[in-house]
Amino acid sequence: MATAGSKNFDEMLNADGSVRPAYEDFRQWFDGQDTTWLRRQDAEAERFFRRIGITFNVYGDDAGEERLIPFDMIPRIITAREWRKLTLGIEQRVRALNAFLQDLYHRQEIIRSGRLPIEALRNNEAFLTQMIGFTPPGGVYTHIVGIDLVRTGPDEFMVLEDNARTPSGVSYMLENRETMMAMFPELFTKVPVRPVSDYPRRLARSLRACAPAAYDPAKVGGKRPVVAVLTPGIYNSAYFEHAFLADQMGAELVEGSDLRVMDGRVCMRTTTGYKAIDVIYRRVDDDYLDPLTFNPDSVLGVAGIFDVYRSGGVTIANAPGTGIADDKAIYSYMPEIVEFYTGEKPILQNVPTWRCSEADSLGYVLDNLADLVVKEVHGSGGYGMLIGPTSSKKEIAEFEAKLRAKPGNYIAQPTLSLSTVPIFTKEGLAPRHVDLRPFVLVSPDGIDITPGGLTRVALKKGSLVVNSSQGGGTKDSWVLDE
């Protein structure tokens, strides 16, 4: 495994400067283009994004100020062979995640077998006791999963993080492709790229396949289950995506204030009266779903929805309580989890992880802080973490104090030398670190992985942080056809 300091792997160019096979067709096209024209297209792309409103809001920023996630026009390219292996690994992992959730909320065999310590569940807010003994419609917990992958070598893909709650970013996957096709149509006649545009249709199909017991086609004249996207509203950072997906699926985009529980169903207020919803794709956190069951101050959810859910009146996707599966404290056990439920060795590796709750690990981490990445167990979005190699002595000392105070709150990982893909800059192509989030749909009919995903790129030279809230950008991600 390549770690920081060693020469990192570039996905476009070999060490000798020759072009790797995945990028051959693209590079040939690119070298034939006029740079001035490319630069103009680049500026055009930003105007395009602003006009259609692909923006996100930054919390704590000036109210209502909307930012663009920078888009880089050089695609991230994955060969058919690489993708085949990735899909096998992702499918295995997602299957294990769902089996794990089913087990955790029922017999807890994995704890009985001693593979997972009970401490991982105790006092863990992501574990919802309200879900114990309940099986969601169709047996599906994580209808939509985003698996964050990093690459450190030609054949080395690792899972950095599982996103089993409400993974976002899929609208960027779709709009990035639209933008590339609008800017460079002829490029797509030269390179065989697998399409991603039917994701919303597949999402809708997958959600409808999980209709609750209360859905009876005979009672609604054979009509398909009613799907709605539940959003916290226009000030949420991912509102654009919520509206985009609802629109593309032909589903209603609802807010908590549109909904109410009536006759054992969750109903939305329409111009002609209240109408029952079968499947809710919620983009609201567990804690805000139901003021009667969870956070009593929440105005984003629906009072009583949890009771309706438990009695088969509605499907909530993803199921409440799935956060326990992508918890950073659980992450380090994923190799064991995969093996326990699938009976197979994991195809995709975890990043080696030290649990600071364990004395030996803590000792090692404290001795090597300058070389490690330390993450808060419950943090997200790149906040509350320490990247040893790029931090000052003072920052490291401050973090050390926090770590000593509450070691159980942290895990540590080696600073990986993430692969790079070039971005388009004023001075020409320049390598930047990337990760990849493929999107996975789970339904009783099977697991469906869209070819590609969202490539996030750290735009600052040498930076390893790809989060959009920390100055990251995105790229179109191509999976080549066989």
Partner 1 sequence: MLGRAANGVYWMSRYLERAENTARLIDVGFHLALTRGSRRSQDEEWRSVLTTTGQLEAYNELHSEITGPQVFNFLLREKDNPGSVLAMVENARTNARVVRTSLTNAVWETTNEGWMSLRELLARPVRETNLGEVLMQIRRTGTLVRGALEGTMLRNEVFNFSRIGTFIERADNTARILDVKYYVLLPSTAWVGSSLDNVQWDTLLRSVAGNRAYSWLNAGSMDPRGIAKFLILDGQFPRSLLFCYEKIRSNMAGLAKEYGHEVSAHQLLRDVGATLHQTTIEEIFDQGLHEYLQDCITKIIEIGNVIAADYRFTE
How far, in Å, CA of 34 to CA of 92, rounded? Answer: 44
Which residues are 24's β-sheet partners? none
Among 39, 40, 50, 224, binds partner 1 (CB under 8 A): 50
Q: Which is nearer to partner 1, 69 or 254 (CB)?
A: 254
Contact characters 106-125, partner 1, x per CB under 8 A: --------------------
CB of 252 to partner 1, least distance (A): 6
Stretches 44-52, 105-113, 149-157, 298-306: which one binds partner 1 (CB under 8 A)?
44-52
Q: How far apart are the first and last CA of the chain?
A: 28
Among 5, 35, 52, 119, binds partner 1 (CB under 8 A): 52
Among 11, 91, 175, 255, binds partner 1 (CB under 8 A): 255
Stretches 247-255, 279-287, 376-384, 413-421: which one binds partner 1 (CB under 8 A)?
247-255
Cβ(320)–Cβ(131) below 8 Å: yes
197 counts as binding partner 1 under rule CB under 8 A: no
How far, in Å, CA of 358 to CA of 111, rounded? Answer: 18
Tokens of 57: 């809001």
Q: Which is nearer to partner 1, 36 or 271 (CB)?
A: 271
Q: Which is nearer to partner 1, 258 or 339 (CB)?
A: 258
| CB neighbours of residue 106 within 10 Å | 13
Q: DSSP characters for 348-371? A: SEEPP-EETTSHHHHHHHHHTGGG
Among 243, 366, 429, 430, binds partner 1 (CB under 8 A): 243
Q: Which is nearer to partner 1, 19 or 243 (CB)?
A: 243
- Residues 6+ away with beta carbon under 8 Å from 345: 339
Q: Which residue, 244, 211, 189, 51, is CA-closest to 140?
A: 211
**Phi and psi at residue 401, to the nearest 5°:** -60, -45
CB of 271 to partner 1, least distance (A): 4
Q: Which is nearer to partner 1, 179 or 415 (CB)?
A: 179
173 counts as binding partner 1 under rule CB under 8 A: no
How far, in Å, CA of 118 to CA of 135, rounded? Answer: 21
Cβ(267)–Cβ(252) below 8 Å: no
190 counts as binding partner 1 under rule CB under 8 A: no
- Residues 6+ away with beta carbon under 8 Å from 23: 11, 12, 77
Among 7, 32, 51, 218, binds partner 1 (CB under 8 A): 51
Cβ(285)–Cβ(321) below 8 Å: no
How far, in Å, CA of 463 to CA of 457, rounded? Answer: 9
The number of residues that bind partner 1 (CB under 8 A) is 22
Q: Which residue, 223, 194, 147, is CA-closest to 482?
A: 194
CB of 224 to partner 1, least distance (A): 18
46 counts as binding partner 1 under rule CB under 8 A: no
Among 273, 296, 343, 428, binds partner 1 (CB under 8 A): 273
461 counts as binding partner 1 under rule CB under 8 A: no
221 counts as binding partner 1 under rule CB under 8 A: no
Q: What does the binding site for partner 1 look like in residue numbers (CB under 8 A)?
A: 50-53, 233-234, 239, 243, 246-247, 252-255, 257-258, 268-273
